Chain A
Amino acid sequence: MIWLGSTFLFTLLIGMPIAFVLGFSALAYFVMTGQTNFLLVMPQRMLAGMDMFVLLAIPLFVLAGSIMDVGGLTRRLIGFANSIVGRFRGGLSLTAIWGCFLFGGVSGSAAADAAAIGTVMVPDMKRQGYDVDYSAALIAVSSLMAPLVPPSIAMIIYGALSGTSIAQLLIAGLAPGILLAVLLSIYAITVARRRSYPTAPAQSMAEIVQGFWKAIPVLLLPVIIVVGIRGGIFTATEAAAIAAIYALLVATFVYRAMTWAFLKEAFISTAIITSAIYFLVAIANIAGFIFAMEQLPQQAVALLTGISDNPYVILLMVNIILLFMGMFLDTIGVLILTVPALMAIGNTLGLDPVHLGVMVVFNVLVGFVTPPVGLCLFVIAGVTGRPMEKIAVAALPMIGVALIVLALITLFPQISLFLPELLGAR
């Protein structure tokens, strides 16, 4: 246990990639505790961890998102969002928020969302007199909706690590995503009133219909996923395959924007990025094995229940620990390290695993917009050319909004669970 912990900390601090930190710590643990007969188990556990049909939803959803990103998709979604919310006070900031939401229905990636919407919206907002750091921060926080709204790679990884129904997790993320969009909109409107940001001219019904018509092939993608999974027409992996082929058909025949070079790049980058995720999942299966041997999940439960037996206090502690870890470690790493213990805590408290999953995924996503290593802050800083610290300061109140959503999700399981129940996926 000491060997495991000290090797982990040492290799983490010298900047070793998290997958190897976990792998090497496992190796050190087996060697130092004299259990070298378990070394044969390592490649076996890695293969078993990767050899899961549900995980194939990852490359297929990544592929669907990158294919859909061809030829003016972002403009189309933003045009549609603008035709509806542009007329309110702070219209462009609302367009940015709901544009991020719609983009999230195509791509599960917060980084892609922040980059796509940020590239288009920040220059527009700047022209209309919006503060650049404010605009950048708003888009960074709004991009967290991408991994909440289906499709979501984060939900698939959580489901695979915890054995929770991925179909239910995907649908359960939708309502928290909408809640975040609504609360961010309220915040953006109050800011716009205070700083008297402009409104866009109201568009006629005909223009709204036209915007909708242009965007509808894209908007159908998440609908296909949700309707397909609902009532078990497809498994999550099959839904992902259908989403990818649908994206390919729409990009090729409806938008006529597909080129051979783009297609090839989309397929190859899908394989490359999925390889890294699979490798992490493989290593997670070794880590899980050691956690079980050392009974770490049980110890975590004993530790937390020793401090308090009030479930809300325990959930508060869990959320604080996760937020803290999410600030410094990469998201998949946090999930690998904590999911076994979280499942044990969930069991003890009698929590629904889908509810727990949405809470945990939302929580670790907040790490994307907190310094020092927030991925979305990093992306939006690259897009806007502004220093990350300035954007992080501007993002503080919005992170507060995200934490309110986290608190609501934690306290009211129904926010996550009513949609899966309503749609009969449970």
Chain B
Amino acid sequence: MSKIWRAYVAAVETFCFAGIAAILIVGVLQVFARYVLHSSLFWSEEFMRYLMLWIVAFGAGISYTRGQFLGMRMVVEKLPPAARRVADVVAAVCVLIFLGVIIWYGSKFSWGTRRQTAVALSISMFWIHISVVIGALLLAIHVALNELLGVARSPAREEHVMGAEEAL
């Protein structure tokens, strides 16, 4: 089981690495094309935007496990361990309900837009919109594993949970 998990994390990390590298290269290429070659790329902005949606889809779950999704823990931390456990489970169930709704309606929305095509890349919008479903699905798996089953937390990161604020 832990073997599959490690392979999954490695695959996501590789995708994230390649994805960010591609966004960097295309971003530089866009400036280069406009100022040096004097001809703008017609596909670069769309490519970068949609690629980022997929990076978020794959990255959000791991981001959750690494403590990037922070809440206000002040009240919960004052509770006795048993009550805190109840609060955490209730919170996790609410999160899973929300993600379930996003998965269900996201699938409906993606399917409904399958005949639309992206302006520059001319692929079906289904492939862009389904990213939110994959993202919610992976997040749900991470939330369920971390909060309900108590596995797959990376303990080394636990001490330095700072949330997404870290980037500000």
Is A42 an interface residue when CB atoms closer than 8 A count as contact?
Answer: yes
Specify which of A44, A56, A157 is in contact with B27 (CB 8 Å cutoff). Answer: A56
The reply to whether A270 and B20 contact each other, CB–CB distance below 8 Å, is yes
* Closest chain B residue, CB of each to CB of A234: B31
* Most chain A beta-carbon contacts within 10 A, residue among B45, B55, B59, B128: B59
The reply to whether A241 and B28 contact each other, CB–CB distance below 8 Å, is yes
The reply to whether A14 and B90 contact each other, CB–CB distance below 8 Å, is yes
Question: Which residues of B have CB within 8 Å of A44?
Answer: 109
Q: How far is the CB of A15 from chain B (nearest CB, A)?
A: 4
Is B151 an interface residue when CB atoms closer than 8 A count as contact?
Answer: no
* Closest chain A residue, CB of each to CB of B26: A241
Is A62 an interface residue when CB atoms closer than 8 A count as contact?
Answer: yes
Specify which of B21, B98, B165 is in contact with A20 (CB 8 Å cutoff). Answer: B98
Is A244 an interface residue when CB atoms closer than 8 A count as contact?
Answer: yes
* Closest chain A residue, CB of each to CB of B60: A275
Give A322-347 as 1s and 0s: 1 = Cβ < 8 Å from B's Cβ atoms: 00000011111000000000000000
A-B Cβ contacts below 8 A, count: 226
The reply to whether A271 and B59 contact each other, CB–CB distance below 8 Å, is yes
The reply to whether B48 and A56 contact each other, CB–CB distance below 8 Å, is yes
Give B124-141 as 1s and 0s: 1 = Cβ < 8 Å from A's Cβ atoms: 000011011101000000
The reply to whether A272 and B63 contact each other, CB–CB distance below 8 Å, is yes
Is A167 an interface residue when CB atoms closer than 8 A count as contact?
Answer: no
Is A280 an interface residue when CB atoms closer than 8 A count as contact?
Answer: yes
The reply to whether A14 and B76 contact each other, CB–CB distance below 8 Å, is yes
Give B63-82 as 1s and 0s: 1 = Cβ < 8 Å from A's Cβ atoms: 11010111111111100000
The reply to whether B71 and A56 contact each other, CB–CB distance below 8 Å, is no
Enumerate B25-76 residues with CB–CB distance to A below 8 Å.
27-28, 30-31, 35, 45, 48-50, 52-53, 55-56, 59-60, 62-64, 66, 68-76
Q: How far is the CB of A177 from chain B (nearest CB, A)?
A: 14
Question: Which residues of B have CB within 8 Å of A373?
Answer: 72, 74
The reply to whether B75 and A58 contact each other, CB–CB distance below 8 Å, is no
Interface size on B, residues (CB 8 A): 67
How distant is the Cα of A30 from the Cα of B129 in the complex, in angstroms? 22
Specify which of A18, A241, A272, A332 is in contact with B71 (CB 8 Å cutoff). Answer: A18
The reply to whether A331 and B94 contact each other, CB–CB distance below 8 Å, is no
Partner-binding segment picked from A68-76, A107-115, A250-258, A399-407: A107-115
Give A343-372 as 1s and 0s: 1 = Cβ < 8 Å from B's Cβ atoms: 000000000000000000000010010001
Is A379 an interface residue when CB atoms closer than 8 A count as contact?
Answer: yes
Interface of B is mostly: helix
How distant is the Cα of A373 from the Cα of B74 in the complex, in angstroms? 8
Partner-binding segment picked from A45-53, A187-195, A213-221: A45-53
The reply to whether A15 and B16 contact each other, CB–CB distance below 8 Å, is no
Specify which of B30, B56, B91, B98 is in contact with A275 (CB 8 Å cutoff). Answer: B56
Interface of A is mostly: helix
How distant is the Cα of A56 from the Cα of B46 in the complex, in angstroms? 11
The reply to whether A240 and B27 contact each other, CB–CB distance below 8 Å, is yes
How distant is the Cα of A272 from the Cα of B17 in the complex, in angstroms? 10
The reply to whether A16 and B94 contact each other, CB–CB distance below 8 Å, is yes
Q: How far is the CB of B94 from chain A (nearest CB, A)?
A: 5
Is A19 an interface residue when CB atoms closer than 8 A count as contact?
Answer: yes
Question: Which residues of A have CB within 8 Å of B55?
Answer: 59, 271, 274-275
How distant is the Cα of A373 from the Cα of B168 in the complex, in angstroms? 15
* Most chain B beta-carbon contacts within 10 A, residue among A60, A154, A330: A330
Specify which of B31, B53, B63, B133 is in contact with A241 (CB 8 Å cutoff). Answer: B31
Is A127 an interface residue when CB atoms closer than 8 A count as contact?
Answer: no
Q: How far is the CB of A320 from chain B (nearest CB, A)?
A: 20
- 8 CB contacts below 8 A, A to B, read A27-B101, A59-B20, A153-B167, A241-B23, A245-B28, A271-B20, A274-B55, A276-B63
Binding site for A on B (CB under 8 A): 13, 16-17, 19-21, 23-24, 27-28, 30-31, 35, 45, 48-50, 52-53, 55-56, 59-60, 62-64, 66, 68-77, 87-88, 90-91, 94-95, 97-98, 101-102, 105-106, 108-110, 128-129, 131-133, 135, 159-160, 162-168
The 7 tightest CB contacts between A and B, nearest first, are: A241-B27, A271-B16, A275-B59, A43-B106, A276-B68, A15-B76, A17-B69
> 9 extra interchain contacts, Cβ-Cβ under 8 A, other than A244-B24, A373-B74?
A14-B75, A14-B90, A15-B73, A15-B87, A56-B52, A271-B17, A273-B167, A275-B60, A276-B164
Binding site for B on A (CB under 8 A): 11-21, 23-24, 27, 39-40, 42-44, 46-47, 50-53, 55-56, 58-60, 62-63, 108-112, 147, 153-154, 157, 233-234, 237-238, 240-242, 244-245, 248, 264, 267-268, 270-280, 282, 328-332, 365, 368, 372-373, 375, 378-379, 382
